[in-house]
Amino acid sequence: MKSLPQSCEQCFEEFKSSLEDLRVYGQRSKKGSLSEAQSRELITSFEVTHELALKVLNSYFKKYGKGPFTGSRDLTVEAFHAELIDEGKPWLDMVIDRIQYNPVYDIDTQGIFIENILKIYISLMEQFEETMEKKLDQ
């Protein structure tokens, strides 16, 4: 049996819940250095939150007849042009950081990735949450 696709609002609720989890992991990191397990939890939580943000964007555009998009970069650029995200370059950096962190590549990017999550990406997700809250209330 096929399930119905989630509405943009349902996707957004999932995103908000995941963002709250990410905030909790981010707060833990402020109490001191992260263990290896805590680092993995933070990164995993960020990746889930980012995927859900992309899912929100995709369902939002689908609602208005836009898309499909060939990947997260195209979707991010369209979201910037539609003023759903405020800063396009850092959002594209998120995509690049996730690609580079992939264990297939033989470069150690975990430290930089964690630093970017804590210093930049969580606040961008929070801005996105505020923007989408307003858009979906219209």
pLDDT in tens, 46-99: 999 999 999 999 999 998 889 788 899 999 999 999 999 999 999 999 998 888
Q: 124-137 pLDDT, tens per residue?
A: 999 999 999 999 88
For 8-137, CATH gives 1.20.120.330
DSSP the chain: -PPPPPPHHHHHHHHHHHHHHHHHHHHHHTTSPPPHHHHHHHHHHHHHHHHHHHHHHHHHHHHTT----SSHHHHHHHHHHTTSSS-HHHHHHHHHHHHHHSTTS-S--HHHHHHHIIIIIHHHHHHHHHHHHHHHH-
pLDDT of residue 59: 93
For the chain, domain boundaries: 8-137
User: Nearest CA to 18 among 39, 48, 57?
Assistant: 48
* pLDDT for residue 105 is more than 60: no
Residues 49/15, Cβ–Cβ less than 8 Å? yes
* pLDDT for residue 17 is more than 80: yes
Task: Say which residue, 128 or 106, is predicted with more confidence.
Answer: 128
What is the number of other CB atoms lying within 10 angstroms of the CB of residue 47?
Answer: 18
* pLDDT for residue 41 is more than 60: yes
